[in-house]
Amino acid sequence: MAELQYLIFLIIVLALVFDFINGFHDTANAIATSVSTRALYPSHAIIMATCLNFLGAMISTGVAKTIGGDIVSSPDIVNEKIIIAALVSAIIWNLVTWWFGIPSSSSHALVGGLIGSVLISVGSSGLNWGGIGKIVVALIASPALALITGIIVMNIIFRLFEKCNPHVINDRFRKMQILSAATMAFSHGSNDAQKSMGIITLALFSGGFISEFEVPTYVKILCALAMAIGTASGGWKIIKTVGGKIFKLEPPSGFAADLNSSVVVFTATMLHMPVSTTHVVSGSIMGVGTAKRVNAVHWGVAQQMVKAWGITIPITAAIGALAFLLITAIF
């Protein structure tokens, strides 16, 4: 029993570390566009994103239940070592991609790590392939949807303001970007913090510490705080990539990208679907850039990002499997 308590405590710590890293890794999602267009000072943008990430994380637990219940065939087969290996895998991948300034998906990393650790320990029968398929479809479809709707939103803005003075329009949209960045930060918190909530709840349930798969209030608060503190730490390498290397944003396009991304992410939250806010924001930026001019988007950078997205689940699954073998040998 003492070892079980120790392992559960370790899971909670690792899940909160993952949430913290997710916060500074994905800070770019909420503030990159407003910082790159100088609508907000970086310090002000981070403070705003920190507060709204926390509030967003407190509104729902549907995504947490999807992460905790739809990947494995039954929570009963998941032991603490499997969850620890999945978290270690996701943390390693997030740190590697952050170090190289690559916008990658924390969601993909966590899903991949859990798949790998379950496969090596229980086998394919331990995985809920239908649930995994649903999650993967949402992760893949969301950036494509964001790209398409980004084009639509930007074209609407072009039509509405085509006869207006560009300088006046830039000034007005720069102010409006404060609101769109706020909605993006809120929606980011509403989806991303729940991934750690789901993992901690899965561990508590499998360890017999809670009788039903419901996210305890203290778990919600801990995960929301961890993500908020991580957001406050910033993530400047990825901010530079998202904010300037995909497409040179101006206030109208920055506003369109943020508004579009926040709608896509929050809709996914309400449908209890985990999505990658990194992918959604990047897809939105590609969309608004394409609406202006196809060759205005730096497709070489976009291609590198897509490759990173494609390899995330296989690599984190392999790391998760290796981490499980190592943890089993240690414990």
Give CA–CA dist 99/88, Å, rounded. Answer: 17
- What is the amino acid identity at position 312? T
pLDDT value of residue 294: 83
Question: Which has more confidence, 298 or 223?
Answer: 223
pLDDT > 70: what percent of the chain? 90
pLDDT value of residue 128: 87
Taking each helix axis as running N to C, give the angle between helix 166-206 and helix 217-233, from 0 to 180 degrees, rounded to the nearest 10: 140
pLDDT > 90: what percent of the chain? 18
Question: Which has more confidence, 228 or 68?
Answer: 228
Give CA–CA dist 193/189, Å, rounded. Answer: 6
pLDDT value of residue 301: 66
**Where exactly are the structural domains of the chain?**
2-330
The residues near 175 (Cβ < 8 Å, ≥ 6 apart) are: 39
pLDDT for 37 beyond 80: no
Report the range of poorest mean pLDDT among 206-215, 233-242, 305-314. Answer: 233-242
Give CA–CA dist 113/307, Å, rounded. Answer: 18
The residues near 237 (Cβ < 8 Å, ≥ 6 apart) are: 98, 99, 100, 101
Give CA–CA dist 329/331, Å, rounded. Answer: 6
Burial of 137 (0-12, 13-18, 19+ CB in 10 A): exposed
pLDDT for 317 beyond 80: yes
Rounded to 5°, the CA angle 314-318-324 comes to 140
Sign of CA dihedral 227, 233, 235, 240: positive
Give CA–CA dist 84/89, Å, rounded. Answer: 9
pLDDT value of residue 314: 92
Share the mean pLDDT of the chain: 83
pLDDT for 326 beyond 90: yes
pLDDT value of residue 28: 62
Instruction: Decide if 42 contacts 234 (C-beta within 8 A).
Output: yes
pLDDT value of residue 234: 61
Mean pLDDT of 168-181: 88
- Reported as a pLDDT band with limits 50, 70 and 90, residue 1 is low
pLDDT value of residue 239: 59
Q: What is the pLDDT of residues 247-290, one digit of tens each?
A: 677 889 889 988 999 999 999 888 888 888 878 888 888 898 89
pLDDT for 245 beyond 80: no
C-alpha closest to that of 199 among 285, 118, 295: 118
Q: Tokens 């790998």 belong to which residue?
A: 116
- Region for 276 from its dihedrals, namely left if φ exceeds 0, alpha if ψ lies in -120 to 50, beta otherwise: beta
Instruction: Decide if 115 contacts 71 (C-beta within 8 A).
Output: yes
130 to each of 69, 75, 127, 136, 139, how far by Cα in Å? 12, 15, 9, 10, 14
Q: What is the pLDDT of residues 55-71, one digit of tens each?
A: 888 887 777 777 766 78
Q: Tokens 């992918």 belong to which residue?
A: 279
Question: Which has more confidence, 137 or 206?
Answer: 137
Burial of 303 (0-12, 13-18, 19+ CB in 10 A): exposed
- Reported as a pLDDT band with limits 50, 70 and 90, residue 240 is low
pLDDT value of residue 281: 84
pLDDT value of residue 86: 92
Question: Which has more confidence, 24 or 277?
Answer: 277
- Reported as a pLDDT band with limits 50, 70 and 90, residue 142 is confident
Structure tokens, 175: 């102010």
Mean pLDDT of 301-316: 79
- Most confident range, picked from 18-27, 122-131, 192-201: 122-131
pLDDT for 29 beyond 70: no
Q: What is the pLDDT of residues 79-116, one digit of tens each?
A: 889 889 999 999 999 888 878 777 677 778 888 998 99
Mean pLDDT of 147-158: 93
Mean pLDDT of 217-228: 86
